[in-house]
Structure 1
């Protein structure tokens, strides 16, 4: 059982701290609003991943021979990131003064992004589901431990990032804030390009 707990720790922490669209959104929402907004994004995998996991278990064998579904999801995810990146590029110096408290859409943004991002699907198809099934063959507590460990460190890593960014938020004002948001917007465009590339590859175009 210990080996599966460690597998959850390593996989969860590495996924949580790894650069990616959800990490960029955690940072963006924290800078634009506050730490709570970033933390709401961090919790989005807890909402989205159950249907993703169920999806992978149900059609794992079919997806192994066809990338059409993942390709379509990847292209949609690219469009979502382009929209978010465009919003970040349009940020001006008064952005911090416009909203006195965060709007309650950060969790929804994280949910939409995670559902249209093919990487969770790819992870569960190639790594997560096989590890879970192996743990389940050993003992159901091992499978449960793997899941709990994975999501504890996945979400925990995102929360840590939001807190760290939030602590330095008072240094970011005026043009510094504008350029930080524009850089994040460019990163979102880069990630969108990767998703489009994945989509085209998976669709076999």
Structure 2
């Protein structure tokens, strides 16, 4: 079980953390702006979003139609572009990135619920989880469940234990970086906003192109 399911799940969890994506960009940008206490809750968003995705893809459909994936990609891209634009407006208005909690007023910092809700939307509208579970982790989970329920649960615990821990570590790392030098954190914030805009534009263009080919 260890070699067949647990170790691959840990490996996939590490890959999910280290590969740049919209959730990572969102986590980093919020951490640099509002520090780790406000942002770390967003690291748990995959636990909420992925449950229905796993049920839908692994146990019911196996995969979504190409048109559905394309529409999800377009919706996720537009949402990411909106987030990047909102972040850019805040950046231009002089929000002090990496400021201490004492310097951040309640009006400036969004609530943890708002940050978590946006993270949920990013996950739900991104094609990544759907493609990931329908093509990579899903078949492995089905194989594990065919062995036993314990095998399947072990795979899920190994994957999400690694993935969520890695996201939390990412938040703590960039929180420390943001506290070193305000100029550095401001540049990092601008970079992550650019990253979100890139993924937003990429998802939108790819989704439209895929829809055109399906017509």
Task: Give TM-score, length-normalised by structure 1.
Answer: 0.90
Partner of residue 103 from structure 1, selected from 99, 111, 115? 111
Q: Is the 8 A contact 1:89 1:181 kept in 2?
A: no
Cα distance change of structure 1 residues 51 and 178 upon mapping to structure 2, 3 Å threshold: same
* SS at structure 2 position matched to 1:99: coil
Measured in 2, the distance between the counterparts of 1:86 and 1:181 equals 13
The aligned counterpart of 2:99 is: none
The aligned counterpart of 2:34 is: 33
Q: Is the 8 A contact 1:16 1:23 kept in 2?
A: yes
Partner of residue 195 from structure 1, selected from 203, 206, 209? 203
Task: Give TM-score, length-normalised by structure 2.
Answer: 0.86
The aligned counterpart of 1:6 is: 7
The aligned counterpart of 1:69 is: 68
Give 5+ residue unaligned stretches, structure 1. none
**Mean alpha-carbon deviation: is it higher for 36-45 or for 194-203?**
194-203
The aligned counterpart of 2:80 is: 81
Q: Does 1:137 align with 2:139?
A: no
Measured in 1, the distance between the counterparts of 2:153 and 2:9 equals 10
Q: Is the 8 A contact 2:45 2:120 kept in 1?
A: yes
**Mean alpha-carbon deviation: is it higher for 6-15 or for 84-93?**
84-93
* SS at structure 1 position matched to 2:20: coil
Deviation at 1:24, TM superposition (A): 0.3
Deviation at 1:198, TM superposition (A): 2.9
**Mean alpha-carbon deviation: is it higher for 155-164 or for 82-91?**
82-91
Measured in 1, the distance between the counterparts of 2:93 and 2:78 equals 26
Give the aligned length.
201
Measured in 1, the distance between the counterparts of 2:116 and 2:81 equals 18
Measured in 2, the distance between the counterparts of 1:189 and 1:81 equals 6
Partner of residue 149 from structure 1, selected from 134, 153, 158? 158
Q: Does 1:24 align with 2:25?
A: yes
**Mean alpha-carbon deviation: is it higher for 160-169 or for 52-61?**
52-61
Give 5+ residue unaligned stretches, structure 2. 97-102
Partner of residue 171 from structure 2, selected from 162, 165, 172? 162
